Each structure stands twice: as C-alpha cells, then as structure tokens.
Amino acid sequence: MDFSFTPEQEQLRASLAAYLRDHHDFAARQAAVASESGRNTALWHGLADQLGLLALGGPDAPDPFDLLVVMQELGVALVTEPYLESAITSATLLRHSGTQAAAALLPRIASGAAVVVLADTERGARLGAPPHHTRADRSGDGWLLGGAKSTIMAAPWATTLLVTAQTADGTAVFAVDPHSDGVTMFPYRTIDGRRAADLRFDAVALTEAQLVAAPDIAATAIEHATDAAIAALAAEALGVTRRILDDTIAYTRDRRQFGQSIAGFQALQHRMVDMFMKIEAATSATYLATMKLGAPPRERTLAISGAKVLVGEACRFVGQNGVQLHGGMGMTEELAVGHYFKRATVIEGLMGTSDDHLARYMATAATPQPAAA
C-alpha cells in the first residue's frame, strides 16, 4: 500500500498552486466574479496552455488522482472556471460513449477551445432521476428535442451542451449548440460567484450526428460521468474546507478579545480540531472513492456515495463554524471565508445532497452482492 502521490503529481500540485498564487489571488478572483460574463479567460488559457491541465479532458482517460490533485488546488484558490464541468464530467461521458460525435469534441475540450457542459438535471429532480421533462423524438433523418433543464452550472459559458433526453428506447444524450433555434437560456449568477442557467428546448432540430450517446450506452456513460464528477467535486471540497480551516486558525490567532488571542480559548481550539477531523474523514473517503472509480458498479456506488456523505458533512460543519468563529467578519462579503462557505454550501447540494447519497448508500448496501462467477 502506498498513499504517496507520484513525483509527477507532486510537481503538478506545486506548479498549479504556484500559478494560482501568482495569477489568481482573492482580489483577482472577485474581479472576475463581478465581471459581466463572470469568466476569467486569461486563467482558462493559463490552465490550458501554460499548465496543460485541460489535456486531462482529452481522448485518453487520465489518472483519477491527477484530477484529484487539480481539483483540490482549484478548491484552495476558489477558482470558478468550468474545469469540472467540461474537462471532467463531459469528457468522462464522451469517452464512455465512444461515438464519432463524442470523439470530435474531446480534442476541443483538451485545447480549451470548447466548453462542454452536461445538461442533465430537471425541475425538482433528485439524485439519479432520469430525464422526465425533456424528450427527443425521431423526425425524418434526425430528432426533435423539447423540454427543460434546471440549474445547469456553467451553462451560460458552454459552447456545446450535452443534453439528456428521453427517447422511445430510453435515455439518450445529444450535443446541442446553445445558440440553436428553439433553445432558450435563462442565465443567472450563483451564490458561489459562478453562472448557471435554466434551459428550455422548443422543437430543436437535431441531426443524427448530434446523438452523442444512444440509449444502449447512455445510462452507463452518464453514471460514469457523474461518479467521476462527484469524486472531483469531493476533491475540490477538500481544498475549500482546508482553506476555511486555515483562514479560521489564522483569524482567531490574530483576533483579540478579553485581552487575549481568541485562539487561546479552549472552546475554539476544540472546535477547530473538530473541523480538522471532518476534513480528515472527508479526505480518506475521497481517496477511497477516487480509487474505486474503476470498480464494479456496486462497489463504486458505495464508495462514491459514502464520500459525498462525509464531504457534505465536512462542507456544512467546516463552513458554518468557519463563519461562526470569524464572528461578524464571517458574515461579510469582504472576507474570503464567506465565499468559501458559499462554495461549500453549493458543493453540498450538487449531484445529490448528503441525505440523497446516504439513501443511495443504504439502498445499495441492502441489495445482496452478486455471487462471484
């Protein structure tokens, strides 16, 4: 057993961390967030060209621990660029689908030219619900797409949407240009400084070539994409919560009340230790989930859902107490900690809440293991 990262991964972490320190301090982050588009294209090109990180979203499947390292550092720096959405979620789905349409998109993700976003979730739907309101029906040589999607993170930045839809034969995935006739985008800001959108499709005409994953493979491809995304999101959460803890330790050390540093009060010391322990548990669960990404479905599901449960717990506990221990300062837009808290809050709600995953874990664990062949 070896829990150390490879020298290459250590190098990857160091160069990304250094790059972000130099090019993406909190002020730069806030300026991008406040801008009209919310994008930080300079950073995106830096990640693509200078660091070569978008290549991990190319045709060859990367080492999941490389992605873990990247996502953790993006979390530490609270990066809002659509790396998870395009280079991890969409790239994983496209690799598993293996169609020509998919193969054509992967190199464009890897160069950073394309931002590909999976549009799967619908109004009120909880974890794993198949598309319900979105349908695609045969029409001549192609398809007609109708329906709606809700709260699609990074959709306003997408050059291509991967839209899940119900067909006569089951769920399929289509590559849709967001500017096509019949696509209406409702873009909005999110509490974590990003952009998301609700989408409506009204008789959008699609060619056969836009069918990225047919019903025979779509469900599996979506599942793999979602699991990879959850592992990546968990890794980001480790960076986010670690930074909240670091900031809280530093703040309480500097903050003086009752003639002393408040970090000297044992009640606060113990709370910060509790925060640390939540992050430790989440870290181990995230490693386990990352390790199991290639495992058979049952094992994979248990590890992924288990990680999302503990990561969600860490996001909530560390986020809330980070604010609490900063007192009034924690409640302001001015300090970084509140923004990390909000990202942690969003992470807790994306791709299934802790309770959703706990329920999935319970259901999966209760089904007997298939007998060994």
Partner 1 sequence: MDLALSPAEQAFAADIRRFFSQEYPQDVLALVRDGRKLTRDDHVRSQQALNAKGWLGVGWPAEHGGPGWTPVERYLFEQELELAGAPSIIPMAVIYIGPIICAFGTPEQQGRWLPDILESRAMWAQGYSEPESGSDLASLRMSAVRDGDDYVLNGTKIWTSGAHWADWIFCLVRTEKCERKQDGISMICADMRTPGITVHPIISIDGAHELNRVEFDNVRVPAANMIGEPGKGWHYANVLLAAERVSYAHIGRKRADLAELRRVAATMPGSVAATMADEPLFARRVALAEIRLNAVEMSVLRVLCGDAAPAAVSALKIACTELAQEITELWVELAGRDRAIVADRTRADWRDAAPEAAPFAVPRTASYLFERAQTIYGGATEIQKTIVWRALDRANAGIARS
Near partner 1 in 303-322, by CB under 8 A: 316, 320
Whose Cβ is closer to ligand FAD: residue 87's or residue 268's? 268
- CA distance linking residue 225 with residue 227, whole number of Å: 6
Residue 147: contacted member of ligand FAD, partner 1, none (CB under 5 to 8 Å, by partner type) = none
- CA distance linking residue 53 with residue 71, whole number of Å: 11
Task: Dihedral sign for Cα 78, 45, 225, 143, please.
Answer: positive
- CA distance linking residue 321 with residue 24, whole number of Å: 26
Contact 249, 263 (CB under 8 A): yes
Contacts of 333 (CB under 8 A, 6+ apart): 339
Near partner 1 in 60-119, by CB under 8 A: none
Give the shortest CB-297-to-partner 1 separation in angstroms: 18
Does position 268 interact with ligand FAD (CB under 6 A)? The reply is yes
φ, ψ for residue 260, nearest 5 deg: -150, 165
Out of 51, 148, 185, 249, the residue judged to bind partner 1 by CB under 8 A:
148
Does position 332 interact with partner 1 (CB under 8 A)? The reply is yes
Classify residue 208 by burial, with Cβ atoms within 10 Å: 0-12, 13-18, 19+: exposed
Whose Cβ is closer to partner 1: residue 54's or residue 118's? 118
Number of residues that bind ligand FAD (CB under 6 A): 12
For residue 261, list its beta bridge partners. 256
Does position 264 interact with ligand FAD (CB under 6 A)? The reply is no
- CA distance linking residue 250 with residue 97, whole number of Å: 47
Q: Which pair of structure tokens corresponds to residue 361? A: 């874990």
Q: In which element (H, E) is residue 364 found?
A: helix 354-366
Give the shortest CB-191-to-ligand FAD separation in angstroms: 17
Does position 365 interact with partner 1 (CB under 8 A)? The reply is no
- CA distance linking residue 80 with residue 77, whole number of Å: 9
Which stretch in 12-20, 29-37, 169-177, 326-334 sits in contact with partner 1 by CB under 8 A?
Answer: 326-334
CB neighbours (10 Å) of residue 42?
12
Site string (262-301) toward partner 1, x via CB under 8 A: ---x-xx---------------------------------
CB neighbours (10 Å) of residue 70?
28
Near ligand FAD in 322-351, by CB under 6 A: 324-325, 327-328, 331
Out of 257, 280, 294, 363, the residue judged to bind ligand FAD by CB under 6 A:
257
- CA distance linking residue 85 with residue 219, whole number of Å: 18
Site string (199-238) toward partner 1, x via CB under 8 A: xx--------------------------------------
Site string (166-185) toward ligand FAD, x via CB under 6 A: --------------------
- Work out whether strand 160-167 and strand 116-119 pair parallel, antiparallel, or are unpaired: parallel
Give the shortest CB-10-to-partner 1 separation in angstroms: 33
CB neighbours (10 Å) of residue 222?
25
Does position 359 interact with partner 1 (CB under 8 A)? The reply is yes
Residues engaged in binding partner 1 (CB under 8 A): 121-129, 148-151, 153, 186, 188-192, 194, 196, 198-200, 256-259, 265, 267-268, 316, 320, 323-324, 327-328, 330-334, 338-339, 341-342, 345-346, 349-353, 355-356, 358-360, 363
Residues engaged in binding ligand FAD (CB under 6 A): 255, 257-258, 262, 265, 267-268, 324-325, 327-328, 331
